[in-house]
Chain A
Amino acid sequence: MALAPVLLRAGGASGVRQQARSTALAVLAFAITTALALSVLGGQRAFTVRAANGDPFQKEWGDLYIVLAWVAVILLMVPLLSLGGAAARLGVARRDARLATLRLLGATPREVVALTVTETAWQGLVGAAFGMVGYVLLLPVWTLVPFQGDHLAVSEMWVGPLMLVALLVAPALAALSAAFTLRRVVVSPLGVAQRTTPAGLKVIRLIVTVVAVIGFLVVTTLSGLDSAALTVLILGMLAAVFGSINLVGPWLIWLLGKIAGGTARSAAGLPAARRPADDPKAARRVVGGLGLASFVAAVLSVLPMISEVQGMAPGERLFLDDLVMGAMLTLAITFVVAACSAGIIQAASVLDRRRDYALQALAGAPASLLDAVRRREVLTPLLFVSVTSAGMGLLVITPFLGPGVQIGTSGLLMLGGCLVAGCLLVLAASEASRPLLRTVLRETSVRPD
């Protein structure tokens, strides 16, 4: 641990600047994660408080609101945890050469892991502290949101001492992600350095997904089981479909990359197609958050249809309006978090590939070409994953609509709007690493001497 300051200075002034930049980005990501996670928990608390102490409507409908708030918490925790993981990977991104030097100096793998995990945990801690401030600053914003016929109050959204838990959870999450990321480096250094043709992903990923979707559709037509067993079965198959999105996503990106790589016609298109095919799991990490958000958006596209139902009691109408509001809020946060994840992962990628980029620029490749490659690298999987995820979402919701009922134009418009906005957000976040690329090109030396 005494080596930490030396390690930080290794690489000269530009190395320290790049390290500072990646550290700042990682801290920012942890701060966003913490602020939004606390806000979501605050929302959940607000409904719990109202269920206990609110007006008659809030008490009567309270349990349902609490259940739905927990659903939102669970839905949002997945992308938020992904963002935290991305931040940890970014924290590790700049350390590869220094870790190698430390290994040469005789540091054991355990010491190297401990050093990096500790550094990343510190970033998590600092990010959590900033995130707590962000949560407090966001509180007045949430009071603009009406629920249950009344605007949320700061006192309802205030999680109190629970906030301090973030100071434990964020560093723990950072440390775990960093340890997981480093495990691959330390256990098999050659696995990182080797530049061989990776084995293609197996078609079994597609088969499992198709089986899961068919299984889900079959289960939703079943009758004769008692309702509890059927509910468990449907939820189980729904979870299988949800999980299979993660399974089939990289396979589809790999296939798309292989096809695009074979047909690319331009100097930008060729590496832009080869890179996702080379590491489809990494390519999916960039757009995975949006895939999840698109799936959720497709499921929620029924909301406009539901809210148009006539002849409801005032309480039911209020509940439906709140359902739409909550869903839109969840969706908006999911998209923002997905965009943040994409931006952070792209920044880490720029730092990881800094030497490649510097060498290409040196050989005359203009920075605009490097930008074009990075943009295409994200854009193609982005469109593909968001559309296929939305398609699966529509497939999943269809059995619940009842015979002859369709989502309708307004629902499809909402879904289309969400997909376009989400893609633009992710693209914008990805483009945000342009200045970082320029700095990397200026500061990265192609020769160590």
Chain B
Amino acid sequence: MTFPPLPAVPTQHTAVRVAAATAPRAGIRLAARGLVKRFGPTTALAGVDVELADGEALAVTGPSGSGKSTLLHCLAGIISADEGAVLLRGDDVSRLSERERSLLRRKHYGFVFQFGQLLAELPAQENVALPAMLLGASRKDATRQARQWLGSLGLGGMETRRPGELSGGQAQRVAVARALIARPDVVFADEPTGALDQATGAEVMKVLVEATRAAGASLVVVTHDENVAAWCGRRIEVRDGRVVGAAR
């Protein structure tokens, strides 16, 4: 499997306000320190510490309601933690404004979700090209890169198909290409195979892990499926808002 060259989109670190924080070890791309998140009387995260190394694939497992999705949302800047810090390459990104978090996600993160993440009106290549265009790439360049990504993920010839004309596995591979086109630092995948059968799910995970590694990104996968977690180099288990186990 070969992956396309770096896209001609801005790759400099987000020029957003960052504050000094406890510096993580060298080679740690993303780190969480003492994350606490409450929803009313419910404590979803009760002091979570986690580190993600450069190019590492981390599986976050746990039963429903354990707090694993909340952890992903905090790490990805979708929501802010009540206490603690999230460090991206050593910069504290946990106290950014809504707008700054938006910019952070656009420039530094990629997302793959269980379903529904593709725009129905756009063909596959335009769905993939859109994040690059958002970062300032011309449509011509973005489309060329999108076609390269789709081709390298085994979707050559399907560039002009719309989401409804793709199988579940193909649609998820389009989502993987879309998550990677802007060369993110970290890809977040929330139950990426939840809507797929086991064989197709394994194909998607293989593509996701290999393509992410080839692109130089780190990967966080939230899942309750042991087979999916097994694709990742490391695993942590979350229960009642705490990390209760870790394994390689």
Contacts and interface: CB of A to CB of B under 8 A. Distances in A.
Contact of A365 (B78, B134, B138): B134
Interface in B77-126: 78, 99, 102-107, 109-111, 113-114, 116-117, 119-123, 126
Interface string A356-380: 1001111111100100000000000
Interface in B163-190: 163-165, 190
B105 A362 contact: yes
A366 B98 CA distance: 10
A449 B69 contact: yes
Contact of B109 (A265, A356, A359, A364): A364
Contacts of A362: 78, 105, 111
A53 interface: no
A267 B134 contact: yes
Q: Is the interface of B mostly helix, strand, loop or mixed?
A: mixed
Interface residues of B, number: 37
Contacts of A277: 121
A364 B119 contact: no
A202 interface: no
A196 B126 contact: no
Nearest to A359: B117
B131 interface: yes
Interface in A417-449: 446-447, 449
B131 A363 contact: yes
Interface string A242-282: 00000000000000000000001111001100110110000
Interface centre among B121, B131, B139 (most CB of A within 10 A): B121
B122 A270 contact: yes
A369 B133 CA distance: 12
Interface in A172-213: 194-197
Contacts of B163: 195
Nearest to B120: A195
A93 to B, nearest CB: 16
A355 interface: yes
Contacts of B104: 364
A78 B59 CA distance: 58
Contacts of A271: 119, 121-122, 130
Contacts of B213: none
Contacts of A361: 102
A275 B126 CA distance: 13
B64 interface: yes
The 7 residue pairs across chains A and B that have the minimum distance between CB atoms: A364-B106, A195-B164, A364-B105, A195-B120, A196-B164, A267-B133, A278-B121
Interface residues of A, number: 28
Contacts of B144: none
Contacts of B33: none
Interface centre among B114, B116, B119, B139 (most CB of A within 10 A): B119
Contacts of B138: 265
A194 to B, nearest CB: 5
A266 B131 CA distance: 11
Contacts of A360: 119
Nearest to B69: A447
A270 B126 contact: yes
Contacts of B162: 195-197
B105 A363 contact: yes
Given A196-B165, A266-B133, A274-B126, A363 B121 contact: no
A359 B165 CA distance: 21
Contacts of B122: 270-271, 274
A363 B133 contact: no
A365 B164 contact: no
A366 B122 CA distance: 19
Contacts of B117: 359, 363
11 contacts: A195-B165, A196-B165, A197-B161, A265-B138, A270-B126, A355-B116, A363-B110, A363-B117, A366-B103, A449-B64, A449-B69
A369 B134 contact: yes
B99 A364 contact: no
B106 A363 contact: yes
Contacts of B165: 195-197
B134 A364 contact: yes
B90 to A, nearest CB: 21
Nearest to B129: A270
A315 to B, nearest CB: 58
A263 to B, nearest CB: 9
Interface centre among B65, B106, B134, B190 (most CB of A within 10 A): B134
A355 B113 CA distance: 12
B17 to A, nearest CB: 17
Nearest to B132: A267
A4 to B, nearest CB: 28
B164 A359 contact: no
Nearest to A364: B106
Nearest to A356: B119
B219 to A, nearest CB: 16
Interface string B127-154: 0001101100011000000000000000
Given A266-B139, A275-B121, A366-B103, 20 more contacts: A195-B120, A195-B162, A195-B165, A197-B123, A197-B165, A266-B133, A270-B126, A270-B130, A270-B133, A270-B139, A271-B119, A271-B122, A363-B105, A363-B110, A364-B134, A365-B134, A366-B99, A366-B102, A366-B106, A449-B69
A265 B139 contact: yes
A264 B131 CA distance: 15
A264 B121 contact: no
A366 B105 CA distance: 10
Contacts of B131: 363-364
Nearest to B142: A267
